């Protein structure tokens, strides 16, 4: 090992030797100038692996990601979408913010011009500029944070409304289609690969009892009541970066930007904002609603979105709020029954714990339905 490598290795203590050498080689493929100072594990995503790459004496750092190509088989289409979306966002924002690159992701291509690199073992990699001085929250605490989240995704949908949806590749077909998700659950049950069916009977009964109601958004869509728009499709709150004053800075994680219905984005954001506990909280008594944050997000969202939403879309929003934690429970449970093939887990029963926490959230939402609908109605009358 050369001296420089030893220093870099010390700076990158949370990696194994093999990881460190692999990552260093990967970084050398990308159009980054300067000497690497450190490489560290970064973020909490369930699908891709993310690293922060710092450069000596440089102002900007980079985000290196290994893309999970078992989940995203169409890497070319995926990166095409992200390029299209980020370039469009920059164009729309120009003149409204001082530096567009602080408000959207920026892809760093490889030296050969490609948007990703495939290494000799077949793994896929990409690099973005890392945004500095920003915050993200797994659990939302204040009105201002939730309000900014609402504005962020409202703006995002509005800004993308001028991009031709036909140019976006559907990288994960049927992503938020509840029939597709329930069907996958049924297939998993039939195979019972990991022999875990006995312990989940109570959850299966609950899921089954709500199937019909949870098809509401899909039914509305299928009968032509809802317009297809370009949506984010992974609007968990930690995919919004806020600045030091908790104002919107940037929407991140653009892997699932595809055609979709606004109720899906609204519901997935509320799923993470209204929950006083983490997505994988073991103590279900902690999974309770923080209702003022629902109001805050709704107000922020409608402030941006009311000008383009149709009446039917507005009607669909609340069904999205019930649907997204339900669908997430179906997906976590399917993976648990399959033997944990999709989501990263940190312990054996992680997917089961996640499932139970999401089911508890649906139950809390159902119990507070009248109140939440009232808040939606009131926020709407103020914004209209």
Interface ranges with ligand GN1 (CB under 6 A)? 45-47, 71, 234, 236, 253, 255-256, 279, 328
Minimum CB separation from ligand GN1 for residue 199, in Å?
A: 22
Taking CB under 5 A as the rule, does residue 253 contact Mg ion? yes
d(CA 148, CA 166): 29
In the complex with ligand GN1, the residue whose CB is nearer, 71 or 189, is 71
Stretch that binds Mg ion, among 157-165, 221-229, 233-241, 347-355 (CB under 5 A): 233-241
d(CA 310, CA 261): 12
In the complex with Mg ion, the residue whose CB is nearer, 7 or 278, is 278
Minimum CB separation from ligand GN1 for residue 287, in Å?
A: 15
In the complex with ligand GN1, the residue whose CB is nearer, 255 or 304, is 255
In the complex with Mg ion, the residue whose CB is nearer, 41 or 56, is 41
Q: Which residues contact 170 (CB under 8 A, 6 or more apart)?
A: 258, 259
Taking CB under 5 A as the rule, does residue 268 contact Mg ion? no
Stretch that binds Mg ion, among 155-163, 165-173, 229-237, 350-358 (CB under 5 A): 229-237
Is residue 204 a contact partner of residue 329, using CB atoms and an 8 Å limit? no
In the complex with ligand GN1, the residue whose CB is nearer, 50 or 144, is 50
d(CA 288, CA 305): 27
Question: Biggest alpha carbon distance in the chain?
Answer: 67
Minimum CB separation from ligand GN1 for residue 107, in Å?
A: 18
d(CA 327, CA 211): 10
Instruction: Give whole-number Cα distances, 238 to 109, 136, 195, 268, 330, in Å.
Output: 25, 5, 34, 11, 21
Minimum CB separation from ligand GN1 for residue 149, in Å?
A: 15
Minimum CB separation from ligand GN1 for residue 325, in Å?
A: 10
Taking CB under 5 A as the rule, does residue 234 contact Mg ion? yes
Question: CA nearest 23: which of 40, 46, 1, 44?
Answer: 40
Question: CA nearest 152: which of 47, 227, 236?
Answer: 236
Minimum CB separation from ligand GN1 for residue 59, in Å?
A: 27
Count of alpha carbons within 13 angstroms of residue 365, beta-carbon side: 24
Determine how many CB atoms are found less than 10 A away from the CB of residue 24. 17
279 binds, among ligand GN1, Mg ion, none (CB under 5 to 8 A by kind): ligand GN1
In the complex with ligand GN1, the residue whose CB is nearer, 20 or 332, is 332
Minimum CB separation from ligand GN1 for residue 237, in Å?
A: 11
Is residue 117 a contact partner of residue 66, using CB atoms and an 8 Å limit? no
In the complex with ligand GN1, the residue whose CB is nearer, 92 or 188, is 188
Q: Which residues contact 58 (CB under 8 A, 6 or more apart)?
A: 34
**In the complex, which residues of this chain contact Mg ion (CB under 5 A)?**
234, 253
């Amino acid at each position: 090992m050369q001296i420089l490598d030893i220093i870099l290795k010390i700076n990158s203590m949370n990696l194994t030797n093999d990881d460190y050498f692999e990552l260093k080689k990967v970084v050398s493929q990308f159009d980054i100038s300067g000497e690497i100072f450190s490489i560290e594990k970064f973020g909490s995503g369930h699908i891709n692996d993310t690293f922060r790459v710092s450069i000596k004496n440089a102002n900007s750092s980079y985000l290196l990601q290994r893309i999970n190509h078992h989940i995203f088989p169409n890497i070319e289409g995926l990166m095409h979408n992200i390029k299209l979306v980020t370039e469009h966002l920059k164009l729309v924002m120009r003149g409204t913010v001082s530096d567009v690159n602080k408000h959207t992701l920026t892809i760093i291509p490889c030296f050969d011009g490609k948007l990703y690199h495939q290494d000799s073992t077949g793994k896929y990699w990409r690099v973005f500029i890392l945004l500095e001085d920003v915050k993200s929250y797994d659990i939302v605490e204040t009105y201002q944070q939730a309000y900014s989240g609402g504005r962020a995704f409202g703006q995002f949908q509005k800004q993308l409304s001028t991009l031709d949806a036909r140019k976006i590749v559907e990288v994960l077909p049927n992503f938020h289609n509840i029939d597709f998700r329930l069907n996958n659950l049924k297939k998993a049950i039939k195979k019972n690969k990991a022999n875990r069916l006995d312990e989940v009977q109570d959850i299966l009964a609950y899921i089954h009892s709500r199937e019909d109601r949870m098809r509401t958004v899909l039914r509305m869509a299928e009968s032509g009541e809802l317009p297809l728009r370009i949506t984010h499709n992974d609007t968990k709150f930690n995919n919004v970066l806020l600045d030091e004053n908790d104002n919107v800075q940037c929407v991140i994680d653009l892997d699932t930007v595809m055609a979709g219905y606004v109720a899906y984005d609204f519901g997935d954001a509320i799923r993470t904002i209204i929950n006083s506990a983490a997505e994988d909280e073991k103590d279900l008594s902690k999974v309770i609603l923080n209702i003022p944050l629902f109001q805050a997000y709704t107000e922020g969202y409608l402030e941006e979105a009311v000008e383009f939403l149709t009446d039917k879309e507005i009607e669909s929003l609340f069904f999205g709020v019930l649907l997204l934690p339900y669908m997430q429970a179906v997906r976590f449970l399917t993976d648990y029954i399959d033997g944990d093939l999709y989501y990263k887990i940190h312990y054996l029963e992680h997917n089961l714990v996640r499932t139970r926490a999401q089911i508890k959230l649906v139950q809390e939402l159902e119990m507070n339905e009248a109140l939440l609908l009232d808040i939606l109605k009131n926020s709407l009358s103020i914004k209209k």
